[in-house]
């Protein structure tokens, strides 16, 4: 996956567009524009070595972060620190568009590319254990 590429999941209907942010020459921040169709829900997971930040652009979503649940709409910002269990889902009548930052980016772009290509999530999680795990 290259900067500016847009990936679409044939299974979930999601799409993701990638950007890398030049925040610090030592740390790679990966930013994604992400589209969640109605009914979409991410399974609860953790990022052992990454922080995940969201900015809701449009639509209505719920986020469960560390056991607390928050409803979010346009302009709302949320953060899941490294190692904190979280999940998110679309609760509205329309798709949700979010801007997501993964800090540091590690190999998240490769994980998403392979997941959207149809690789088995459980097998990928074993290979990308710095990026994602079950709580």
In the chain the domains, ranked by start, together with CATH numbers, are 6-127 (2.60.120.10)
Look up residue 26 and give its DSSP letter: T
Instruction: Give me the phi and psi of 93, to 5 degrees please.
Output: -90, -5
What's the predicted TM-score (pTM) here? 0.85
Predicted confidence pLDDT, tens digits, the chain (135 residues): 555 677 777 777 777 777 666 656 555 677 778 788 888 899 999 999 999 999 999 999 999 999 999 999 999 999 999 999 999 999 988 999 999 989 998 998 889 889 888 899 999 999 999 999 999
CA–CA gap between residue 103 and residue 69 (Å, rounded): 22
Closest CA to 33 of 52, 55, 50, 49: 55
- For residue 27, the model assigns a pLDDT of 59
Supply 12's token pair.
């979930």
- For residue 80, the model assigns a pLDDT of 98
């Amino acid at each position: 996956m290259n900067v500016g590429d847009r990936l679409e999941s044939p299974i979930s209907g999601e799409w993701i567009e990638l950007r890398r942010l030049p925040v610090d020459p030592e740390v790679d921040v990966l930013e994604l524009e992400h589209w969640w169709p109605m009914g979409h829900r991410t399974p609860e997971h953790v990022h052992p070595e990454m922080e995940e930040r969201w900015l809701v652009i449009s639509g209505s979503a719920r986020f469960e972060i560390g056991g607390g649940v928050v409803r979010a709409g346009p302009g709302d910002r949320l953060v899941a620190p490294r190692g904190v269990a979280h999940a998110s889902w679309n609760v509205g009548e329309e798709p949700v568009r979010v801007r997501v930052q993964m800090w540091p980016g590690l190999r998240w772009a490769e994980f998403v590319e392979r997941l959207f290509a149809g690789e088995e999530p459980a097998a990928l999680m074993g290979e990308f254990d710095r990026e994602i795990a079950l709580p």
